[in-house]
Amino acid sequence: MEYIKTDIEGPLIIEPRVFGDNRGYFFESFSLRDFVEHVGPVDFVQDNESLSAKRGVLRGLHFQKGEMAQAKLLRVVSGSVLDVAVDIRPGSPTFGQNVTVVLSGENKRQFFIPRGFAHGFLVLEDNTVFQYKCDNYYAPESEGSYRWNDPYFNIDWGISPDEVILSPKDAVAPFFEE
């Protein structure tokens, strides 16, 4: 696997080696030994999966606070998303900046987001299956979110706001400066 640094210290794009022939393909989606060598020790404790039936579904920007913060390793099994990580680490020189990457069933890229980032993704194709590993359990009392279109973060989602499909909770998430 190739581990590609981003413009912000911490998040990494991971490109697996895919072996294909007339039968299909094979690739190693995770190797603890390889991951620890390139990223460091991360103890993943929970795997999650979501299906987004429609293009335009936007989930985020979500994070967990304090000791329940989560590092995540994200990938798309089928379909595609624009994945976004926003640096919300206090004192970070890149605080408020974001990194985006397209993850798809076709490119098989993965995205590692360390603790201290808000995360969201925009679904680019109908019936997209999104999977991710977390290094901490979900804790509703530690959950936080910011509005997907917060001008403070200036994220280019590449979609018209009237095409975005949000959960009721994400539609009323606070803006950063609130």
**Active site annotation includes 62:** yes
- Ramachandran region, residue 155 (left: φ > 0; alpha: ψ -120 to 50; beta: rest): beta
Gap between the Cα atoms of 173 and 136, Å rounded = 22
How far apart, in whole angstroms, are the C-alpha atoms of residue 126 and residue 52? 7
Query: What per-residue string of b and e applies to 44-81 under the rule 16 or more CB within 10 Å gives b?
Result: beeeeeeebeebbbbbbbbbbeeebbbbbbbbbeebbb
Active site (annotated) includes residue 38: no
Cα(121)–Cα(111) distance, rounded to whole angstroms? 12
**Which position among 132, 137, 146, 152 bears the catalytic label?**
132
From the list 3, 62, 119, 152, the catalytic residue is 62
> CA–CA distance from 68 to each of 56, 127, 155 (Å)?
29, 30, 25
- Cα–Cα dist 103/100, whole Å: 10
Positions marked catalytic:
62, 132
